[in-house]
Amino acid sequence: MTRIIMHGCNGKMGQVISRIVEDDKDAVIVAGIDVNDNIANPYPVFTDMNSIDVEGDVIIDFSTAKAVPSLIDYAKSKKLPVVLCTTGLNDEQLNIVNEASKEIAILLSANMSLGVNLLLNLVKKAAKTLTAANFDIEIIEKHHNQKIDAPSGTALAFADSINESLNNEYSYTYDRTIVKAKRDSKEIGIHSVRGGTIVGEHSIIFAGKDEVVELNHNALSKDIFGVGAVNAAKFLSQKSKGMYDMQNVIEGN
């Protein structure tokens, strides 16, 4: 039985995880953490994580970037692994996470779905083949109107995955209104749309002379992230330290 501490338990994803875990005989949420205890949950909720008085095996985090450093401090003090799903972390916050992985196990992934994690590999092959034929690369992401960070963590992960396959020679352009010049061939344009209840859509567009190749992922429900996060928690609860991603969970190593 994997005992989960849910950080950001009263948010949209926290509530998805709560529902998924209720039907999972191999996992249980033993405590939740959030800024307000304003939702009825079938587990105790703490607004101060240092007051948690139950034992857990792993933390799942879907909260907000600025909450991550104190969560990492807590996890280090309790030697607890963290499945870190929050996006929009700045360099300083990412550095704290990377340093902590020398002491505890951390799984950092901007997208917990199987489809996106498959696509993160497929875009590398497409990028190598198509940029050799001078195709341009643009990424468009669409999300609901409650999302705080832009571009999405997933869009950045796609850009990073592509860039890695191209010897990190590409720069990222987020706003063409300030560029005032033609597109550079070695850039990846990244664009954000926000509206309504769109769960999460990502298009990676390779545009060449007289042809366009587009790879798409559409999330039809937040459950795909929740299922991935619970699987990741079961996987990570067995690890003592190091940095992991969803590829490790999918491959079981």
Ligand X SMILES: O=C(O)C1=N[C@H](C(=O)O)C[C@H](O)C1
- Numbered residues of the known binding site for NAD(+): 8-13, 34, 85-87, 109-112
Handedness of CA 96, 99, 104, 106 (dihedral sign): positive
Active site residue 7: no
SS3 167: coil
Cβ-based neighbours of 118, under 8 Å, separated by 6 or more: none
Q: What is the closest distance, in whole angstroms, from the C-beta atom of residue 154 to ligand NDP in the complex?
A: 7
Among 34, 57, 136, 141, contact with ligand NDP (rule: CB under 6 A): 34
Give the DSSP H/E element, type plus range, for residue 96. helix 91-100
Residue number of the CB atom closest to ligand X: 200
Q: Interface mask (CB under 6 A) for ligand NDP, residues 177-196, using x and -?
A: --------------------
Closer residue to ligand X, CB minimum distance, 72 or 120:
120
Cite the annotated binding site by residue number: 8-13, 34, 85-87, 109-112, 144, 153-154
Residues binding ligand X (CB under 6 A): 87, 110-111, 143, 147, 152-154, 200
Write out the binding residues for ligand NDP, residues 94-133 only, by CB under 6 A: 109-112
Residue 143 interacting partner from ligand NDP, ligand X, none (CB closer than 5 to 8 Å by kind): ligand X
147 tagged catalytic: yes
Nearest distance in Å: CB 79, ligand NDP: 20
Smallest gap from Cβ 94 to ligand X, in A, equals 14
Complex with ligand X: residue 97 or 110, whichever CB lies closer = 110
CB atoms inside a 10 Å sphere around CB 149: 16
143, 191, 217, 234: which is the annotated catalytic residue? 143
Query: Does 18 contact ligand NDP by CB under 6 A?
Result: no
Strands 58-61 and 45-46: unpaired
Burial class (CB in 10 A: 0-12, 13-18, 19+), 40: exposed
Q: How far is CA 186 from CA 128, 152, 192, in A?
A: 13, 21, 20
Rounded CA gap, 152 and 199, in Å?
12
Helix axes 114-131, 153-165, angle to 10 degrees: 40
Name the residues annotated as catalytic: 143, 147
